Chain A
Amino acid sequence: MSNLLSEKFVTPSLPDFIRNLVGTLDAMHREGKYHGKISKEIKPWMDSSGVNFDRDNFRSSAVELGNDVEAQIQQDVKNFVTCSKYWISSPTASLEADFKADLYQGKNLPMLFLKFLESCNPESGSTLRTMADFVKTLEQTPEPNAAAPVEPPQISPPASPPPSTHTANTQFSIALRNGTVGKPYEIEPSAIARAIANQRKDDPEKARISHLQLPDGCGLQFNEQTGAVTGIPIKALEEQLHLDYVPSPNETSITCKVSLLINPDPASLWKDLPPPADAPYQKDLLDDKEYTLGDFRIIAASRRGRSHANKGDFRDDDFAVGYADSTGWLVVVVADGAGSAKYSRKGSQIACMVTSERLVAALNTPEYQTISPPQIEQAEGGPVKPRKWLKELLHEAALDAHYKIQGEADQPSETLPEPPTIRNYDTTLIILVMKKLERGCFTATFSIGDGGAGILDTPDYAEPLTHADGGEHAGQTTFVTISSTVSNTPENLDKRFKMSTTMDFTAALVMTDGITDPKFPSDAAFSDPACWQSLWQELEPALVSSKSLLDWMNFFSPGNHDDRTLIAILPATTPSEE
């Protein structure tokens, strides 16, 4: 035995050394000592034996195997092999085959090593290899009768989902699929037993789980008859669970561990943080207003989104409503400041104020009194002025917003830590002007960016009034602060300007993307009257007051937590009609 290994490379007393190692590991594990301590204590006699032992690697290879001392030691010996540059002489072919067979059957590894090393034939004259290489060789050549190859020695705690394979003994890893609080959870009958049986190479048909310890009050139940796990999780957790596994009816149960992760319900995680009190451009987190203006009743509400509240950001949306009382034109503007721009809350505010004031002033002049909307409509395609006037008017209002924001960036109205650029005020802009006709309504819109407006003739017929600017990906849009969006080119204006005359009038809605994203899942949906109809059914009962609209706007839709602004324009009801 003393000439087992070439003296040229290592101490001749390797088997004793291995035996010592295993014994020490065993003792220490049973005493509940930690891996770092173990590696510290074995390091000196590793060194004195002339072994190149990578202590850090060995220490970091600690695997959570709980109280299973056998499994710990087996894993440690494997790790020892990968962390030590020991040389051994090649065994004879038959020994190698025996060893491999044992390995595949998941027999006790430390004993295997002892047996194997003791029985190596030093006279065989074969070449020398490291133990790690040797183990690798064994694992790379599949054993003829083995169902599946054994994985290389793992030095990481496993957490892969079933049915990942692991070493063919009690060291296996099962993670139950993740759950989420409030969402029904199910693991099919027998699935856990099968996954363990497959890893252990037991017969999955015979294996069963006799007991699974689920945390008290977690909302999940384990059915001992079927082996299914079902229920609705009620609390978030990340835990190792104990279970009793019975490989076959004739065998006794083995206690092992599985991991389970239950995600929190995202809705429970939102924080409601106030924005910093010393930040410039303070703004209310909620805003709501009601008006009766001529022929129209307007219910408007704007609220900070959960994603903003969660980070203590401001409400970046804004809106404005104006009315030209001598001509009967209504002006409604909404703007959505970009989340990526730090002063967008001011940008949206300027955009709404500037455009609504300018449009009210312009539309209040007698020339707009005399332009009856049908004429405007007839003008389409012809060289007639009214359409052009309105298009120019709305465009100029948007252009004005652009310049006023530029002015704010050049000479900020409040003290800012550093000079801003216009892009710090990025905001979308949707302008809608409308006039009541004898039966229906006339509307003209100019829009830059996302969100949108639409009009319902009747509760079941709607027409979109805007076309959103979207990029290839979510969150990509354009802003009034980008000069190309307010350029005077015919292509740009035609894209942004739209007129419509309806025969009837139930409501017009102007919304930021905090509303359109959850309620219209695609561009196609925005043109689909059915989507407008269902939105209207949901919305109408909330339009009793701006406060109740504000409440409705707090609806929950996964992934949609932006600021929300909605302005509903309804026919004014006179007391006699009620």
Chain B
Amino acid sequence: MSIRRLPVYLLLDTSGSMRGEPIQALKVGVQALVSSLRQDPHALESVHICIITFDNKARILTPLESLETFQTPLIDCPQSGATMTGSALELLCQCVDKDVRKNSETQKGDWRPLAFLMTDGSPNDTAHYNRMTEEVNRRPFASVIACAAGPKAKLDPLKKLTHNIFNLETMDGHSFAELFQWVSSTVSSGNRSMGATSSITLPPPPPEIQIVV
């Protein structure tokens, strides 16, 4: 019997502005997320992680893989360049369509996937991005959470994607650690029964993270 997986997609902005401390802090944050989830028995059995990074283009950094076998990859970013958030969403939809198993007569479906988008800027591929937000909303996500990190992150585009937007004022190690700790508790609440259409209730975020209404 295959276990019912909880697919978690991390979409991480690696555009040039993330170079230096932000990308290091982000990487530490991802490691902290993984370590924290490894201490949650339910997550350790069910969580599968896929990391998509985006800068000039979007790419799958690590395909969907169980938390048990997951090894934190190198996260690098180019010197400079555009932020192709729309391409990242397109890739996300492709991954979800391909990866996530549905209930059928002979197999139990996966839990509905979660997606976390972290960006410190705004999409450069605006038209494509707007189309793709609609595509994302057609997918069976239990929750899509967007995090606007740093002073240059634009909130308006994210509002098209999800109601769950959080603002991280600084992009240092501490803030990312708090963010991913919270992401971890969100993931931990992702595998429970719910109505066919309802979204999961997010746990309250730490004070460093401002909820954007």
Q: Is A409 an interface residue (CB 8 A)?
A: no
Most chain A beta-carbon neighbours within 10 Å: one of B23, B42, B45, B75: B42
| A contact residues, range | 35 or more
Chain A residues lying within 8 Å of B20, measured Cβ to Cβ, are: 54, 56-57, 60
Chain B residues lying within 8 Å of A513, measured Cβ to Cβ, are: 193
* Chain B residue, CB-CB nearest to A513: B193
Q: How far is the CA of A310 from the CA of B40 in the complex (A)?
A: 9
The smallest beta-carbon distance between A574 and chain B, in angstroms, is: 40
Q: How far is the CA of A63 from the CA of B100 in the complex (A)?
A: 36
Within 8 A of A (CB), among B184-202: 191-196, 198, 200-201
Most chain A beta-carbon neighbours within 10 Å: one of B73, B193, B201: B193
Q: Are A558 and B45 in contact (CB under 8 A)?
A: yes
Q: Are A475 and B192 in contact (CB under 8 A)?
A: yes
Chain B residues lying within 8 Å of A293, measured Cβ to Cβ, are: none
Chain B residues lying within 8 Å of A177, measured Cβ to Cβ, are: 69
Q: Are B46 and A559 in contact (CB under 8 A)?
A: yes
Chain B residues lying within 8 Å of A261, measured Cβ to Cβ, are: 71
12 pairs, CB–CB < 8 Å, chain A vs chain B: A159-B71, A178-B69, A238-B35, A264-B44, A310-B40, A472-B109, A475-B111, A479-B195, A522-B108, A523-B104, A558-B45, A559-B4
The smallest beta-carbon distance between B110 and chain A, in angstroms, is: 6
Q: Are B193 and A306 in contact (CB under 8 A)?
A: no
The smallest beta-carbon distance between B183 and chain A, in angstroms, is: 17
Q: Is A266 an interface residue (CB 8 A)?
A: yes
Q: Mark B85-121, 1 if CB is under 8 A from A, else 0.
A: 0000000000000001011111111111000000000
Chain A residues lying within 8 Å of B137, measured Cβ to Cβ, are: none
Q: How far is the CA of A470 from the CA of B104 in the complex (A)?
A: 10
Within 8 A of B (CB), among A325-345: 336, 338-340
Q: Is B74 an interface residue (CB 8 A)?
A: yes
Q: Are B140 and A472 in contact (CB under 8 A)?
A: yes
6 smallest beta-carbon distances between A and B, as pairs = A339-B192, A269-B41, A340-B194, A57-B20, A521-B1, A60-B24
Q: Are B44 and A474 in contact (CB under 8 A)?
A: no
* Chain B residue, CB-CB nearest to A271: B41
Q: Mark B43-76, 1 if CB is under 8 A from A, else 0.
A: 0111000000000000000000001111111111
Within 8 A of B (CB), among A245-292: 261, 263-264, 266-270
Q: Is A154 an interface residue (CB 8 A)?
A: yes
Q: Are B195 and A474 in contact (CB under 8 A)?
A: no
Chain B residues lying within 8 Å of A268, measured Cβ to Cβ, are: 41
Q: Are A180 and B68 in contact (CB under 8 A)?
A: yes
B residues contacting the other copy or chain, number (CB 8 A): 51
* Chain A residue, CB-CB nearest to B198: A340
Q: How far is the CA of A261 from the CA of B76 in the complex (A)?
A: 23
Q: Is A426 an interface residue (CB 8 A)?
A: yes
Within 8 A of A (CB), among B108-141: 108-112, 140
Q: Is A121 an interface residue (CB 8 A)?
A: no
Chain B residues lying within 8 Å of A477, measured Cβ to Cβ, are: 193, 195-196
Q: How far is the CA of A521 from the CA of B107 in the complex (A)?
A: 7
Question: Interface of chain A, helix or strand or loop or mixed?
Answer: loop
Q: Is A544 an interface residue (CB 8 A)?
A: no
Q: Is A93 an interface residue (CB 8 A)?
A: no
Q: Is B19 an interface residue (CB 8 A)?
A: yes
Chain A residues lying within 8 Å of B3, measured Cβ to Cβ, are: 558-559
Chain A residues lying within 8 Å of B100, measured Cβ to Cβ, are: 473
Q: Mark A145-171, 1 if CB is under 8 A from B, else 0.
A: 000000010111011110000000000
Chain B residues lying within 8 Å of A180, measured Cβ to Cβ, are: 68
Q: Are A522 and B140 in contact (CB under 8 A)?
A: no
Q: Are B195 and A476 in contact (CB under 8 A)?
A: yes
* Chain A residue, CB-CB nearest to B62: A160
Q: Is A120 an interface residue (CB 8 A)?
A: no
Q: How far is the CA of A470 from the CA of B193 in the complex (A)?
A: 10
The smallest beta-carbon distance between B75 and chain A, in angstroms, is: 6
**Cross-chain pair count, CB within 8 angstroms:** 154
Pick the residue among B45, B102, B191 that contacts A266 (CB under 8 A).
B45
Q: Is A76 an interface residue (CB 8 A)?
A: no
Pick the residue among B19, B103, B200 that contacts A470 (CB under 8 A).
B103
Pick the residue among A155, A524, A561 that contacts B42 (CB under 8 A).
A561
Q: Is A302 an interface residue (CB 8 A)?
A: no
Within 8 A of B (CB), among A471-525: 471-479, 482, 513, 517, 521-524
Chain B residues lying within 8 Å of A60, measured Cβ to Cβ, are: 20-21, 23-24
Most chain A beta-carbon neighbours within 10 Å: one of B19, B75, B140: B19
Q: Mark A547-567, 1 if CB is under 8 A from B, else 0.
A: 000000000001101100000
Chain A residues lying within 8 Å of B35, measured Cβ to Cβ, are: 238
Q: Is A568 an interface residue (CB 8 A)?
A: no
Most chain B beta-carbon neighbours within 10 Å: one of A264, A423, A476: A476
Q: Are B74 and A158 in contact (CB under 8 A)?
A: yes
Q: Are B73 and A159 in contact (CB under 8 A)?
A: yes
Q: How far is the CA of A92 from the CA of B24 in the complex (A)?
A: 37
Q: Are B110 and A473 in contact (CB under 8 A)?
A: yes
The smallest beta-carbon distance between B160 and chain A, in angstroms, is: 24
Q: Are A473 and B102 in contact (CB under 8 A)?
A: yes
Q: With A178-B70, A263-B44, A470-B103 given, can you name 13 additional A-B contacts, CB distance below 8 Å?
A: A57-B20, A132-B79, A155-B76, A160-B71, A264-B38, A269-B40, A306-B41, A423-B195, A472-B140, A475-B192, A476-B103, A476-B194, A477-B193
Q: Are A473 and B111 in contact (CB under 8 A)?
A: yes
Known: A156-B27, A559-B4. A339 touches B194 (CB 8 A): yes
Chain A residues lying within 8 Å of B105, measured Cβ to Cβ, are: 522-524
Chain A residues lying within 8 Å of B69, measured Cβ to Cβ, are: 177-178
Q: Are A178 and B71 in contact (CB under 8 A)?
A: yes
Q: How far is the CA of A474 from the CA of B107 in the complex (A)?
A: 10
Q: How far is the CA of A212 from the CA of B27 in the complex (A)?
A: 28
Q: How far is the CA of A60 from the CA of B27 in the complex (A)?
A: 11
Pick the residue among A156, A238, A471 that contacts B75 (CB under 8 A).
A156
* Chain B residue, CB-CB nearest to A177: B69
Chain A residues lying within 8 Å of B67, measured Cβ to Cβ, are: 263
Within 8 A of B (CB), among A425-482: 426, 450, 470-479, 482
Q: Are B193 and A336 in contact (CB under 8 A)?
A: yes
Q: Are A474 and B108 in contact (CB under 8 A)?
A: yes
Pick the residue among B39, B76, B191, B201 that contacts A264 (CB under 8 A).
B39
Q: How far is the CA of A175 from the CA of B35 in the complex (A)?
A: 16
Q: How far is the CA of A522 from the CA of B103 in the complex (A)?
A: 8
Known: A482-B195, A517-B108, A561-B42. A474 touches B68 (CB 8 A): no
Q: Is A364 an interface residue (CB 8 A)?
A: no
Q: Is A230 an interface residue (CB 8 A)?
A: no
The smallest beta-carbon distance between B130 and chain A, in angstroms, is: 26
Q: Are A154 and B41 in contact (CB under 8 A)?
A: no
Q: Are B73 and A307 in contact (CB under 8 A)?
A: no
Chain A residues lying within 8 Å of B23, measured Cβ to Cβ, are: 60, 156
Q: How far is the CA of A558 from the CA of B46 in the complex (A)?
A: 9
Q: Mark B1-39, 1 if CB is under 8 A from A, else 0.
A: 101100000000000000111011001000000010011
Chain B residues lying within 8 Å of A266, measured Cβ to Cβ, are: 41-42, 44-45
* Chain B residue, CB-CB nearest to A522: B106
Known: A266-B44, A307-B42, A470-B103. A160 touches B73 (CB 8 A): yes
